[in-house]
A and B are shown apart, each in its own frame.
Chain A
Amino acid sequence: EVQMVESGGGLVKPGGSLRLSCAASGFTFGSYSMNWVRQAPGKGLEWVSSISRGSDEIQYADSVKGRFAISRANAKNSVYLHMNSLRVEDTAVYYCARDWDGYNTFDYWGQGILVTVSS
């Protein structure tokens, strides 16, 4: 069974940092691109970042470019989101999502982890 479990969320002050982790199981992790998608409270979905199977292609939404960094460790079946210079508007539930076919089709999602940026 495909599973993805996010961790590392919590409350952080504006300007602070946080690292999210997503542990995957039930599939050959290294064969899939992975993504982070977030959802602010009561709002819609916003794509945040993607990383290819071999980490050679990385993309970011303009809203996080220069502040967030995505990485992965295929040997640990994990993908990470390093978040720096956090802003109040980064408050959201963060989901990791598997890209099924390499064409941005997100077929499996984690349960999400809440990040709250507040003073």
Chain B
Amino acid sequence: QSVLTQPPSVSGAPGQRVTISCTGSNSNIGAYYGVHWYQQLPGTAPKLLIYDDTNRPSGVPDRFSASKSGTSASLAITGLQAEDEADYYCQSYDRSLSGSVFGGGTKLTVL
């Protein structure tokens, strides 16, 4: 069981908007540690998608956005495209565990 909780799967039609939640606790997200999001395409290494709660690295389309409130965070993808079909992971730091923690991952299916 992962320290950060994500839904196992989400889906949406091309052009639609989907959101992926990430629920933690006062030991990680709620302790003001940054939340980061990664996209993992099939058979490839993860790619940093969002860092420090809401920031996009250079080259990441603005269709991807994120937010954080309390002990939870959320990733939103608008204008869904077939190429967005991937696994998405949230990640933060946990002060009780003294290490990074990941969510269990969410598989996005573009219908």
Chain A residues engaging chain B, CB cutoff 8 angstroms: 35, 37, 44-47, 50, 59-62, 95, 100-101, 103-107, 109-112
CB contact between B48 and one of A59, A60, A106, A112 (< 8 Å): that residue: A106
Determine, out of B18-26, B76-84, B98-106, the stretch whose residues face the partner at the interface: B98-106
Interface of B is mostly: strand
Complex interface: chain A residues within 8 A of B47 (CB)? 109
Chain B residues engaging chain A, CB cutoff 8 angstroms: 2, 33-34, 36, 38, 40, 45-48, 51-52, 57, 87, 89, 91-93, 97-105
Asked, given contacts A105-B34, A105-B36, A106-B46, whether A44 binds B51 with beta carbons under 8 Å apart, the answer is: no
Asked, given contacts A44-B103, A44-B104, A45-B38, whether A104 binds B46 with beta carbons under 8 Å apart, the answer is: no
Complex interface: chain B residues within 8 A of A104 (CB)? 33-34, 36, 91-93, 100
Complex interface: chain B residues within 8 A of A112 (CB)? 45
| Cβ of A56 to closest chain B Cβ, rounded Å | 15
Complex interface: chain A residues within 8 A of B103 (CB)? 44
Complex interface: chain B residues within 8 A of A59 (CB)? 98-99
Asked, given contacts A62-B97, A103-B93, A105-B52, whether A47 binds B102 with beta carbons under 8 Å apart, the answer is: yes
A-B residue pairs, 6 tightest by C-beta: A47-B100, A44-B105, A109-B45, A45-B102, A104-B100, A105-B51
Residue contacts A-B, CB under 8 angstroms, 28 given: A35-B100, A44-B89, A44-B103, A44-B104, A45-B38, A45-B91, A47-B102, A50-B99, A50-B100, A59-B98, A60-B99, A61-B99, A62-B97, A95-B45, A95-B46, A101-B51, A103-B34, A103-B52, A104-B33, A104-B93, A105-B34, A105-B36, A105-B48, A105-B52, A106-B48, A106-B91, A107-B57, A110-B45
